[in-house]
Amino acid sequence: MSAVWHEVECGAYAADLPLWEELAERGGGAVLDLGCGTGRVSLHLARRSHPVTGLDNDAELTAVLEERAGELPVTVTTRDARDFELDSEYALVLAPMQLLQLLQDDGERSSCLRCVRDHLKRGGIAALAIVESMPEVVEGATPVPDAREVDGWIYSSLPLGAALDDGAIAVRRLRQTVSPLGELSEELDEVRLVLVSAEQLETEARSVGLMPAGRRAIPATDDHVGSTVVLLERGA
């Protein structure tokens, strides 16, 4: 079921894809996609002939990606972004969709950053997307649910808003499922994004041997907030 909700809530997001494509072209080598999910980014880059390794700790999501990849240059691995060891180095390591903020604290972020360092080629770039502050509330805006039909089932995810809660942005959604017979079930879902600034992330990166290499911005859309992308390179 996690794959269905991942597709409903994240599958249509595309505002970041031009940046990942630009960085992959610049890097000219293999790409590691952390928190790859069902392959939104991995498949986009692989279709443009970039060899990609997709890494996620959810076996249901990686199974979907492996099936979808087919003959594309995609390698899939089910591992934790905080503790992984692969047999390759990469020209580009991506952490889209605020993956770093899903980690609990600076200790977990440092563990992830060490793994990134160990798998980044000399001259390669790591690109980490974060939201630095609470998104602004648009007065009068009516939230529209993300929805999808799968085999006669309707899946709808309605944003209920976001709130600051103990150093994190708590993003809440109402998930509703309608069966082919019209039976409705629903549940509340909450995702917590631990607050971290670009400057703080760069400081943590320096401590593990990754050097700041600039920042980029991903613009907001009608349905998604904008992001800051922190760029890092492996130190000497």
Q: Is the pLDDT of residue 138 over 80?
A: no
Print the SS3 string covering the chain: CHHHHHHHHHCCCCCCHHHHHHHHHHHCCCEEEECCCCCHHHHHHHCCCCCEEEEECCHHHHHHHHHHHCCCCEEEEECECCECCCCCCEEEEEECCCHHHHCCCHHHHHHHHHHHHHCEEEEEEEEEEECCCCCCCCCCCCCCCEEEEECCEEEEEEEEEEEECCCEEEEEEEEEEECCCCCEEEEEEEEEEECCCHHHHHHHHHCCCEEEEEEEEECCCCCCCCEEEEEEEECC
- Supply the pLDDT for residue 135: 73
At residue 91, the pLDDT reads 97
Average pLDDT over residues 142-163: 91
Amino acid found at 217 = A
Give the pLDDT confidence score for residue 103 in this predicted structure: 97
Would you place residue 59 in the very low, low, confident or very high pLDDT band (cuts 50, 70, 90)? very high
What percentage of the chain reaches a pLDDT higher than 70? 97
Confidence check: pLDDT of 140 > 60 = no
Kindly state the average pLDDT of the residues 57-76.
Answer: 97
What average pLDDT does the chain have? 94
Q: Tell me the domain boundaries of the chain.
A: 2-133+196-234, 146-193
Quick one: average pLDDT of 214-226? 90
Q: So what's the architecture of 2-133+196-234 in CATH?
A: 3-Layer(aba) Sandwich (3.40)
Question: Any idea of the CA torsion for 37, 40, 29, 229, to the nearest 10 degrees?
Answer: -90
Both tokens of residue 80? Answer: 């934790």
According to CATH, the superfamily of the domain at 146-193 is S-adenosyl-L-methionine-dependent methyltransferases (2.20.25.110)
What is the average pLDDT across 204-211?
97
Q: What is the pTM of this model?
A: 0.94
Q: What pLDDT sits at residue 15?
A: 96
61: pLDDT confidence band, cut at 50, 70 and 90?
very high
Question: How many Cβ atoms sit within 10 Å of the Cβ of residue 209?
Answer: 15
Confidence band (pLDDT; 50, 70, 90) for 133? confident
| pLDDT at residue 45 in the model | 98
Distance from C-alpha of 228 to C-alpha of 11, rounded to nearest angstrom: 20
Same fold: 2-133+196-234 with 146-193:
no
- For 153-192, the pLDDT digits (tens) are 999 999 998 999 999 999 999 999 999 999 999 999 999 9
Residue 236 confidence (pLDDT) above 80: no
| Confidence (pLDDT) at 144 | 85
Q: Which stretch of 47-51, 131-135, 208-212 has the lowest confidence by average pLDDT?
A: 131-135
